Amino acid sequence: MTAAGKPKRLFKVASEFNVSTQSIVDSLNDNGFPIENKPNAKITPEMYSALESVYGEDKAKSRDHVRAREEYEERRSTFRTSRNESVTIDSFLEPLDDLEPADEKTEKDEDLPLKPADDAESSEDQLKPSDSETQEEEDVPVPARDEQREDDTAGSDAGKEAPEVSETEPAEKQEVAEDEETAEAGSDQDFEPEEEVETDDEPEEEVEPAGKEAIQLPEADDELDIVEGDDEEEEQEPHEIIRGRKEKLAGTRVLGKIQIADPAEEGKKKKKKKGKKAKKEETKQADAVEADEKEKPKKKKIAAKRVKGDSPAADVTEEAPKSKKKKKRIKARKAPKVDDSDVESKLKETMAMLNTGGSVGRKRQKRRKQKREEMAAEREILETEKSEQEQKILEVTEFITVSDLADLLDVSPNEIIMHCMNLGMVVSINQRLEASTIELLAEQYDREVVFVDAEELTDDIEEDDDDDPADLEPRSPVVTVMGHVDHGKTSLLDFIREAKVTAGEAGGITQHIGAYEVRLPDKRNITFLDTPGHEAFTAMRARGAQVTDMVILVVAADDAVMPQTIEAINHAQAGGVPMVVAINKMDKEGSNPDRIKQQLADHNVIVEEWGGSVQIAEVSAHTGAGIDELLDKVLIEAELMELKANPNRKASGIILESKVDRGKGVVSNILIQKGTLRVGDPFVAGSYSGRVRALENEFGERIDSVGPAQPAQLTGFDGLPQAGDKIVTVQDERTAKEIAQQRQQIKREQSLRKVKHVTLDDISRRLALGEVAELNIIIKGDVDGSIEALAGALQKLSDEEVKVNIIHTGVGAITESDVLLASASDAIIIGFQVRPSANARKLAENEEIDIRLFSVIYDAVDAVRDALEGMLSPEVNEKTVATLEVLDIFKVPKVGTVAGCKVTDGKISRNTKIRLIRDGIVIYEGELASLKRFKDDVREVTSGYECGLGIKNYNDIKVGDVIEGYEVTETKRKLKQETS
């Protein structure tokens, strides 16, 4: 890794250097790079260089180690593959030469360490099994070729053997060792000695003096023919190949004893080896030169063998001086002349034998089978791993537990816990993890995470979410009435209900079920939500439930477009819901609908007759005039919207309200959106489940079912669901219960860790991540002028990357309704010279809405610009430390106005900065001139106590004003966690 390139994350770098994140942080701090110990903290190339200088050496060592291991693994796998997959005779012969005898020897050495007699016997035995091989060797033309090759190398006139024999000197030890092995291996009782053992008893006799040596020394005049013991050795189970070999070599050290060795013996030994090698050489004719170099010792053996076969005399003369060799049984053979086809057939025969019978074959077969099985198992594992890799995407719900995540990742929970520790978190096995942590952990395992909402569990259960268009049927529009206070919303709703609902029903309205259906003469229906006002509408939206299809905006004709009218417009627009305007109180004198239309146009609501798209009706909730027309326009708008739903499917809807009824238990007013809900249906609603026990309409009548856009009162819940929760029917009650339980768990977690809305602090991070493309802002200010100026300035900050939307502006204190809108629209609230009401502040805290308060327009603009540009301006935190209410006013000559106050919250100090707030608007900001308890000056007054205070340079204090004491802290913003 080089220092150049993109910044890396702290946790990655830590794992790269194999040290803790804290160590990395400490090292960086020591090197003048201040950084926080956060897993996602950026490590710049410069920092990385610094770290390399500290940990580089260790890392290099670790790399070398890894490389060495890889090479070793590669070599091992190559070796294994060649051993297991090649089924040629070569592959059998190779290990025979190189490895298998070792095992034999090991065993033998252990069993018969020092008994010459035994050794002698074993040497006899060992000769027996080698018959087949020997015969093959004899028949096979290999030796001839080898001889030739060796001759060439040696350049001897006399024949190949002579010069080669001389070369055998250094090879002697090995050969002897091999001979020993051969002898030991020969102890296998399965083999019957045949022609091969022509070597009389001489070996035995000779062996005795040789002591431990397993090799018998034949007479010099014996014709040399080595009985191969190697194959027999192979019969033995090969265990601990390497160890065996060592022991074998150790055995050769005993050679000193064989002083009397006859040159002929050497010839024998060599011949043995040569037999095998020769075969091998035959089948692999290609790499002669290579083989020469590689197999010098082998060649020597081969040469010796040849010599023995063709001209034993020469062999003897040459080898006599190197008389350290042991005796062997020798058969006089003459290398027959063989051609390739013979070799081929012989090989086949051998293979057949190996495959079908003989202990050698069986064992090899067994071994191979075992290897094959191992390989197959390995392959299977690899394939499984591969397919798992392909399924890299991990679908999880947020707040999954450590153990569940470990299960999904197929690792042990301890591993997850360790990773968490590396990330600086101490977690327990049952601890639930946050989304960001889950992502970090999954990244460690090269998995991508897709978070599935717990609610989606039920969505999954809904069949055919995309209904076939053919199944869709028109449904009634669902309408909410909004407007300013006293403009007649309730009167309008009541009139419609009375006139249009009650008229057709005998019993009249008996109960409130959150909504009611209006049936028009032409059989078309409209469903009205009977909680008027934009707060209800937005509260529902904030909970993720979009119930309303359309808004009727009520404006009193004798009044004007008022602040709440504007709020309603903004809320409807933020929700993307079309409006129909009802200009109410047309019966009243002084009504001026045109003025209303004009004012609406000023707020971008342009009615049809003015060339816009918004339909308008002039009505009177008292007389009923224009109501039909209004409803008609609502239906026209609905037709334009083509509202449809499939009634023939499992039902889903929204909880409008819930309450606990003494007699009925939990009762909820619901509005069905899709499908049909029937009595007896099992369902899930929010975190609760149940079975529909009863359904009632607004007249208190029992009904069997309720369809799309229809309200009903439902009983059958096992808990109290929240307004805005989605109700979905499921297959059975058990499923419903399971889902509800899961949701409850997740909800518990969520209640601990709230879902964050956008804030100015993290907008740049979200922009970088591509999470947001626009910043929604609500502006509340003291006067229209400043709001407009601020809105204009903020809107100018829009660029290609991010669009600034001012979704709502208003004069006055920041209210709960503003916070709700911000929550529903993921907006921030900017207060210019205004404060949030106590309830709004509390709600904002709960909903985690970012409220920024400014007194200077440029400050507000700079703050937003900096945030959008990702600039890390100093973080200014303002904390309200005291709230006082002005109870009385005293005019004191020469001093000014003194306010008698009560500290309602916190603690006010003499030098606390203060704001004077009247009706939610900041009237003055400054400092205290005095703070007294009775007649004494005091340094501070705490909550619950009364005090007298004067404000420096300000006397216009009034009873009912609120004085807010605040502290400002400015902290240097640190680099936040950002993804590289």
User: Using CB under 6 A as the criterion, which residues of the chain lie in contact with ligand GTP when the complex forms?
Assistant: 483, 485-491, 532, 584-585, 587-588, 620-622
Q: What backbone phi and psi angles, to 5 degrees, belong to 562?
A: -110, 170
**Which residue's entry shows tokens 């327990």?**
428
585 is annotated as contributing to ligand binding: yes
> 949: closest CA among 928, 924, 927, 922?
928
Residue 531 annotated as part of some ligand binding site: yes
Residue type, 959: V
- Strand partners of residue 450: 395
Cβ nearer to ligand GTP, comparing 177 with 481? 481
Pairing of strands 665-674, 711-717: antiparallel
490 appears as a binding residue in the annotation: yes
Identify whether the C-beta of residue 318 lies closer than 8 Å to the C-beta of residue 263.
Answer: yes
Say if residues 764 and 873 touch (Cβ distance below 8 Å).
Answer: no
Is 628 annotated to bind ligand?
A: no
For ligand GTP, give the closer residue by CB, 25 or 621: 621
Nearest residue (CB) to ligand GTP, 216 versus 570: 570
Which token pair is 751?
Answer: 């209640």
Nearest distance in Å: CB 486, ligand GTP = 4
Measured CA to CA, the distance from residue 526 to residue 518 in angstroms comes to 5
Nearer to ligand GTP, 40 or 564 (CB): 564
Nearer to ligand GTP, 621 or 884 (CB): 621
Question: How many CB atoms sit inside 10 A of residue 838's CB?
Answer: 14
Closest to ligand GTP by CB, 552 or 916: 552
Closer to ligand GTP at the Cβ: 40 or 565? 565
Q: Is 562 annotated as a binding residue?
A: no
Shortest distance, position 625 Cβ to ligand GTP, whole Å:
8
The closest of 397, 138, 89, 110 to 250, measured between CA atoms, is 110
Q: Cβ 629 to ligand GTP, closest distance in Å?
A: 14
**Residue whose pair of structure tokens reads 């591969």 in the numeric block:** 386
What tokens appear for 33 in the block?
A: 């790079």
Of how many residues is the chain composed? 980
Beta bridge partners of 898: 890, 950
Structure tokens given for 321: 């001086």
Burial, 803: exposed, middle or buried (Cβ in 10 Å; 0-12, 13-18, 19+)?
A: middle
Query: What is the smallest separation between the CB atom of 508 and ligand GTP, expressed in angstroms?
Result: 20
Sign of the torsion formed by the C-alpha atoms of 142, 143, 147 and 150: positive
Please indicate if the annotation marks 484 as binding a ligand. yes
Is 912 annotated in a binding site? The answer is no
Residue 109 marked as a ligand binder: no
DSSP label at residue 614: B
CB of 492 to ligand GTP, least distance (A): 7
Closest residue to ligand GTP, judged by C-beta, is 488
As given in the structure block, the two tokens for residue 732 are: 């059975």
Smallest distance, ligand GTP to C-beta of residue 888, A: 33
Shortest approach of ligand GTP to residue 595 CB, angstroms? 17
Of residues 532 and 653, the one with the C-beta less far from ligand GTP = 532
Q: Give the nearest distance from C-beta 630 to ligand GTP in angstroms.
A: 12
For residue 620, the minimal CB distance to ligand GTP (Å) is 4
How many Cβ atoms are within 10 Å of 875's Cβ, its own excluded?
12
Cβ neighbours of residue 621 under 8 Å, at least 6 residues apart? 488, 491, 492, 494, 495, 584, 585, 627
Closest by Cα among 364, 438, 446, 350 to 397:
438
Q: Is 587 annotated as a binding residue?
A: yes
Neighbours of 855 (CB within 10 A): 13
Distances (CA, A) of 562 to 511, 603, 943: 32, 11, 38
Alpha helical stretches, state H, 480-592: 489-496, 534-542, 563-574
Question: Smaller CB distance to ligand GTP: residue 252 or 591?
Answer: 591
Least gap, CB of 488 to ligand GTP (angstroms): 3
Structure tokens at 160: 């190949």
Nearer to ligand GTP by Cβ, of 220 and 630: the residue is 630
Neighbours of 613 (CB within 10 A): 12
Residue whose CB is less far from ligand GTP, 137 or 558 = 558
Cβ closest to ligand GTP, residue 621 vs residue 685: 621
**489 belongs to an annotated ligand binding site:** yes
Instruction: Tell whether 896 is in a known binding site.
Output: no
351 is an annotated ligand-binding site residue:
no
Q: What are the Cα distances from residue 356, in Å, to 89, 193, 286, 350?
A: 15, 20, 30, 10
Q: Which residues of 282-291 are buried (b: 16+ CB within 10 A; e: fewer)?
A: bbeeeeeeeb
**Amino acid symbol at 935:** K
Are β-strands 8-9 and 42-43 bridged in parallel, bridged antiparallel, or unpaired? antiparallel
CB of 499 to ligand GTP, least distance (A): 13
CA gyration radius, the chain:
48
Query: Which of 331, 322, 202, 180 is closest to 260 using CA atoms?
Result: 322
Q: Which is nearer to ligand GTP, 621 or 730 (CB)?
A: 621
Would you tell me how many other CB atoms lie within 10 Å of the CB of residue 784?
A: 11
Residue placing its CB nearer to ligand GTP in the complex, 619 or 763: 619
- Of the pair 153, 548, the CB lying nearest ligand GTP is at 548
Per the annotation, does 7 bind a ligand? no
Distance CA 299, CA 276 (A): 11
Provide the token pair at 36: 């926080």
Give min distance, CB of 621 to ligand GTP, in A.
4
Is 275 among the annotated ligand-binding positions? no
- Taking the complex as a whole, how short is the minimal distance between the CB of residue 627 and ligand GTP, in angstroms? 10
Q: Give the shortest CB-518-to-ligand GTP separation in angstroms.
A: 17
Q: Are 594 and 463 in contact (CB under 8 A)?
A: no
CB of 588 to ligand GTP, least distance (A): 5
Residue type, 521: P
Strands, DSSP E only, in 420-524?
448-451, 473-474, 478-483, 515-519
Q: How far apart are CA 924 and CA 913, in angstroms?
A: 11
* 757 annotated as ligand-binding: no
Q: Which residues are annotated as a binding site?
A: 483-490, 530-534, 584-587
Q: Which residues are annotated as a binding site for GTP?
A: 483-490, 530-534, 584-587
